[in-house]
Amino acid sequence: MSFDNALGAIAEDNDEARWAFGTGFHDPLAGVDTAVPDGVDRGDLASYCLMLGDDALIMSHRLQEWCTHAPELEEEVALANVALDLLGQARLLLARAGVAEDAVEEARRGEDDLAFFRDAAEFRNVRLTEVPNGDFAHSIVRLLLFSTWRLALLDRLRASRDPVLAAIAAKGVKEVAYHRDHAALWTIRLGDGTDFSHARAQRAVDELWPLTGELFGVHDVERRMADAGVGVDPSGVRAEFDAVTSEVLATATLRAPEPEPPRLAGRSGDHTPALADLLAEMQSVARAHPGATW
Amino acid sequence: MAPSTGTAEARAAEPQGEAAHFERTVARDQRIEPRDWMPDAYRATMVRQIAQHAHSEIIGMQPEGVWITRAPSLRRKAILLAKVQDEAGHGLYLYSAAETLGADRSELTAKLISGRQKYSSIFNYPTLTFADVGVIGWLVDGAAICNQVPLCRSSYGPYARAMIRICKEESFHQRQGYELLMTLMRGTDAQREMVQDAVNRWWWPSLMMFGPPDADSTHTAQSMAWKIKRHTNDELRQRFVDMSVPQADALGVTLPDPDLRWNAERGHHDFGEIDWSELKRVISGDGPCNAERVAVRRAAHEDGAWVREAAAAHAAKQEAR
Amino acid sequence: MDKDWPLYEVFVRGKRGLNHVHVGSLRAPDDTMALRNARDLYTRRNEGVSIWVVPARDITASSPDEKDPFFAPSGDKVYRHPTFYDIPENVPHI
């Protein structure tokens, strides 16, 4: 390829080298057996996939809301990347839920049926993902707490007996590690930045921390899936979560509140009113045209 | 490599001096690079053009961005989010090109949010339905591609290189728009009506994207001589119309112009008179969404000030430690 | 204190066997964030791509006639690639 003539370079046909990163795209489920493994309860698997999928979908939505409002253009790109990754995870997980809940292919709900035609009480995301955005510090601290927890879960989920969940987790681990890193870097810059940014970051920690108890409550479905070697017991990732968050917060000169007792809320469909508001927006177009294809 | 500037004897015979060097470089279709000498007016024109282009990318995120959270399928949501993210990236490539000319991004942003620098008037129209996302991809991005492909050969190197990256990504933008419209046209009656309605609203503003007619265009002649611009506004507009007509036919939509017809003699489509008073109105700040677009950008910039300061303060602390 | 983030120049090696190539610039508060922003912006976070960031103020430059090399964009997400969209053959110029 010629380096002195840019136009010539794009006009050269069939030259793979002109694409800096190639044109092949990786399918995370390529070569993976998508049949539900023997002995795995389909209903539980579907519910479990909805939990992890809804976490990603709702968290992605809150990050999408930053679009055109980010504090700097570079951060616009970064937040959109995180939102895209989580949206990708949500799509794979909701699709898996649809496969699991119905053995008959024709009757299955697809990712869009599950995203756009369930009501708030049917969503299984933790509340941490659904509370409205505050300022940038609020979103960064939320991302730190969420991705620290999710990375610990996905890391263990790579050993799932369900090969699809294992593959989704393997892809997700790389992505969420990046998200956690991004959130940690920003938490440190806000916490150890100006007095003003420190106060905002501490306020975000104090506001969001009460929602972390829910990250370690164990729903019956999670317990059964963990026992079956398919899912991860969230109570088991607490030590990692505490270690990572306390280190980041300390570096950021922020105070970590006392650990919250585990509890259940979103996992049982018990949500704040913010989720219904969020869904009213997210589902508005899809529900105005039932049966339509987009 | 391109041919060098010739033998020493030949060079000695050529006019000397920075201005002559500049003229020769442009005349040979070579690129002007950041540290080259260039006429002040060339620099000012480039900064203005690149900054307006960058602003257009950033403001252009808004009309479509508001549909991300409402996109009716997860696939469309991912596509739209990626597309709007690309526009932020394009803005950054372009600000980066402008900075090679000595412009400063924060100063350019200040000019944008105080209304002293403009952006493409097309983004001052509202997006009323999800079909607008498709029509923006097809027509607005299509018009942008017509405008931008020749800019890949712009005489200013960093701008030309930024345009190459941008044009490649724009091709994805246009295709996703057209594919969305094809899907909608195969869908319900309501979806087809949404598409036609969106086409009706966006067609004429898309034609205005090429700027005023050549007879009234103040910048064209000098820009053509400097090879900042390669085709006139009217040439590009004609090319866009000729490309769009068969695309509209394939889609099954009607372009809202009763005077639109093939002229075999010219080998081009004739089309109706553009309402230039509307373009003037929108450019001068009186479009449907001018105030809102600038207000959103200003709020993001001002609300983000404490974040940028915090990061700068942290970096200063780290350096001091 | 200067509140504007400094300018960084970004160099990317798209794949093994190639040189790092200048792809553009960006602004960032510090080196670490510059590297992250560069990865997001210029590689859309493609792994296995080597990136250098250099504060623009630290670059010493020679004469003007150099020809900057050309750099092509990434495609790490399938929907970023034009051929992902199935457009019938008979639709021209898309």
Asked if the Cβ–Cβ distance from B312 to C3 is below 8 Å, we say yes
- B78 near A112, Cβ under 8 Å? no
Give the whole-angstrom CA distance, residue B105 versus residue B98: 8
Q: Identify the CATH number of the domain defined by range A38-255+266-288.
A: 1.20.1260.10
Name residue A47's amino acid: S
Q: Which residues pair with A116 in a beta bridge?
A: none
Q: Would you state the pLDDT for residue A2?
A: 30
Chain C: give the shortest CA distance to residue B286, in Å: 32
Name the helix (H) or strand (E) containing A284.
helix A284-288
Tell me which chain A residue has its CA closest to the CA of residue B314: A193
Q: Would you state the pLDDT for residue C49?
A: 79
Name residue A81's amino acid: N
Asked if the Cβ–Cβ distance from A68 to B65 is below 8 Å, we say yes
Q: Would you state the pLDDT for residue A104?
A: 83
Give the tens place of pLDDT for each residue, B256-296.
999 999 999 999 999 999 999 998 898 888 889 999 999 99
pLDDT mean across residues, chain C: 72
SS3 (DSSP) at A70: coil
Q: Is B195 left (phi over 0), alpha (psi -120 to 50) or beta?
A: alpha
SS3 (DSSP) at B316: helix
- B269 near B261, Cβ under 8 Å? yes
List chain C domain ranges: 2-62
Chain A: give the shortest CA distance to residue C90, in Å: 21
Whole-number CA gyration radius for chain B: 22
- B46 near B159, Cβ under 8 Å? yes
Q: Would you state the pLDDT for residue A7?
A: 31
With a CB cutoff of 8 Å and minimum separation 6, the contacts of A253 are A191, A192, A198
Chain C: give the shortest CA distance to residue A208, in Å: 25
- A133 near A139, Cβ under 8 Å? yes
Residue B56 has pLDDT above 50, yes or no: yes
Comparing B191 with C93, which gets the higher pLDDT? B191
DSSP state of B265: T
Residue B73 has pLDDT above 70, yes or no: yes
Q: Indicate which CATH number applies to the domain containing B55.
A: 1.20.1260.10
pTM listed for this prediction: 0.89
Q: Is the CB of residue C89 less than 8 Å away from at least one CB of chain B?
A: no
Tell me which chain B residue has its CA closest to the CA of residue A288: B72
Residue tagged 């959130």 (tokens): A183
Tell me which chain C residue has its CA closest to the CA of residue A175: C45
Tokens for C48?
Answer: 């296995």
| Alpha-helical regions (H) of chain B | 8-13, 18-27, 40-59, 61-65, 74-99, 105-113, 131-135, 141-148, 157-185, 189-208, 220-225, 233-251, 276-281, 290-303, 305-320
A289 contact residues in B (CB cutoff 8 A): 72, 188, 190-191
Q: Would you state the pLDDT for residue B228?
A: 82
Asked if the Cβ–Cβ distance from B308 to C41 is below 8 Å, we say no
Give the tens place of pLDDT for each residue, C53-88.
999 889 887 754 443 333 333 333 444 444 555 666
- A200 near A194, Cβ under 8 Å? no
Residue tagged 């000695």 (tokens): B12
Tell me which chain B residue has its CA closest to the CA of residue A1: B1
Name residue B1's amino acid: M
Whole domain around residue B41: which residue ranges?
19-320
Q: Is the CB of residue B260 less than 8 Å away from at least one CB of chain C?
A: no
Question: Alpha carbon of B122 to those of B205, B207, B279: distances in Å?
Answer: 6, 10, 9
Tokens for B79?
Answer: 């596509």
SS (H, E, C) A135-193: CHHHHHHHHHHHHHHHHHHHHHHCCCCCHHHHHHHHHHHHHHHHHHHHHHHHHHHHHCC
Q: Does domain C2-62 have CATH number 3.30.1280.10?
A: no
Name the helix (H) or strand (E) containing A96.
helix A73-101
Q: Is the CB of residue B320 less than 8 Å away from at least one CB of chain A?
A: no
Is residue B198 classed exposed, middle or buried when 0-12, 13-18 and 19+ CB atoms within 10 A define those classes? Answer: buried
Find chains touching chain C: ≥3 CB pairs under 8 Å: A, B
Give the whole-angstrom CA distance, residue B185 versus residue B180: 9
Name residue A273's amino acid: P
Asked if the Cβ–Cβ distance from C65 to B33 is below 8 Å, we say yes
Domain count, chain B: 1
Chain C: give the shortest CA distance to residue B294, in Å: 21
Per-residue model confidence as pLDDT tens for chain A (294 residues): 233 333 333 333 333 333 333 334 467 888 888 899 999 999 999 999 999 999 999 999 999 999 999 999 999 999 999 999 999 999 999 999 999 998 788 889 999 999 999 999 999 999 999 999 999 999 999 999 999 999 999 999 999 999 999 999 999 999 999 999 999 999 999 999 999 999 999 999 999 999 999 999 999 999 999 999 999 999 999 999 999 999 999 999 999 999 999 999 999 999 999 999 999 999 999 999 998 999
Name the helix (H) or strand (E) containing C21.
strand C21-27
Is residue B146 classed exposed, middle or buried when 0-12, 13-18 and 19+ CB atoms within 10 A define those classes? Answer: buried
Cβ count within 10 A of residue B255: 22
B96-119 average pLDDT score: 93
Chain A: give the shortest CA distance to residue C32, in Å: 9
Whole-number CA gyration radius for chain C: 17
Checking DSSP bridges between strand C7-13 and strand C50-55, what pairing results, if any? Answer: antiparallel
Asked if the Cβ–Cβ distance from A81 to B85 is below 8 Å, we say yes
* Nearest by Cα to B310 from A268, C16, C30: C30
* Nearest by Cα to A157 from A50, A229, A54, A264: A229
Asked if the Cβ–Cβ distance from A69 to B76 is below 8 Å, we say no
List chain A domain ranges: 38-255+266-288
Residue B225 has pLDDT above 90, yes or no: no
- A164 near A157, Cβ under 8 Å? no
Tokens for B53?
Answer: 């282009």
The interface residues of chain B toward chain A in range 167-206, judged by CB-CB distance below 8 A, are: 168, 180, 183-184, 186-188, 190-191
Tokens for A253?
Answer: 């000169």
Q: Would you state the pLDDT for residue B272?
A: 97
Q: Would you state the pLDDT for residue B128?
A: 97
Tokens for A33?
Answer: 């057996």
Tell me which chain B residue has its CA closest to the CA of residue C62: B35
- A120 near A57, Cβ under 8 Å? no
Question: Alpha carbon of B79 to those of A255, B129, B148, B229: distances in Å?
Answer: 40, 17, 22, 31
Name residue B73's amino acid: S
Chain A: give the shortest CA distance to residue C69, in Å: 6
Comparing C57 with C2, which gets the higher pLDDT? C57
> Taken in order B312, B315, B317, B319, is the CA torsion positive or negative?
negative
Give the whole-angstrom CA distance, residue C8 versus residue C56: 5
Give the whole-angstrom CA distance, residue B160 versus residue B162: 5
With a CB cutoff of 8 Å and minimum separation 6, the contacts of A92 are A28, A29, A53, A164, A168, A171
Give the whole-angstrom CA distance, residue B142 versus residue B152: 16
Q: Would you state the pLDDT for residue B170?
A: 85
Q: Which of A5-9, A27-31, B65-69, B79-83 has the highest mean pLDDT?
A: B65-69
Find chains touching chain A: ≥3 CB pairs under 8 Å: B, C
Q: Would you state the pLDDT for residue A213?
A: 98
Chain A: give the shortest CA distance to residue B280, in Å: 27
- A202 near A187, Cβ under 8 Å? no
Tokens for A143?
Answer: 């991302």
Helices (H) and strands (E) in chain A, counts: 12, 0
Asked if the Cβ–Cβ distance from A7 to B164 is below 8 Å, we say yes
DSSP state of B37: -
Taking CB atoms and an 8 Å cut-off, how many pairs form between chains A and C? 68
* Distance from the Cα of residue C11 to its chain's centroid: 7
Give the whole-angstrom CA distance, residue C77 versus residue C80: 5
Q: Would you state the pLDDT for residue B230?
A: 82
Q: Would you state the pLDDT for residue A106?
A: 83
Q: Would you state the pLDDT for residue C90?
A: 64
Tokens for B21?
Answer: 């060097």
SS3 (DSSP) at B90: helix
Asked if the Cβ–Cβ distance from C94 to B175 is below 8 Å, we say yes
Q: Is the CB of residue C94 less than 8 Å away from at least one CB of chain B?
A: yes
Q: Which residues pair with A190 in a beta bridge?
A: none
Q: Would you state the pLDDT for residue A14?
A: 31
Q: Is the CB of residue B311 less than 8 Å away from at least one CB of chain C?
A: yes
Give the whole-angstrom CA distance, residue C17 versus residue C20: 10
Give the whole-angstrom CA distance, residue A211 versus residue A146: 10
- B178 near B137, Cβ under 8 Å? yes
Q: Would you state the pLDDT for residue A30?
A: 83
B310 contact residues in A (CB cutoff 8 A): 189-190, 193-194, 196-197
Q: What percent of chain B has pLDDT over 70?
A: 95
B61, B78, B311 member nearest A88 (Cβ)? B78
With a CB cutoff of 8 Å and minimum separation 6, the contacts of B66 are B127
Is residue B230 classed exposed, middle or buried when 0-12, 13-18 and 19+ CB atoms within 10 A define those classes? Answer: middle
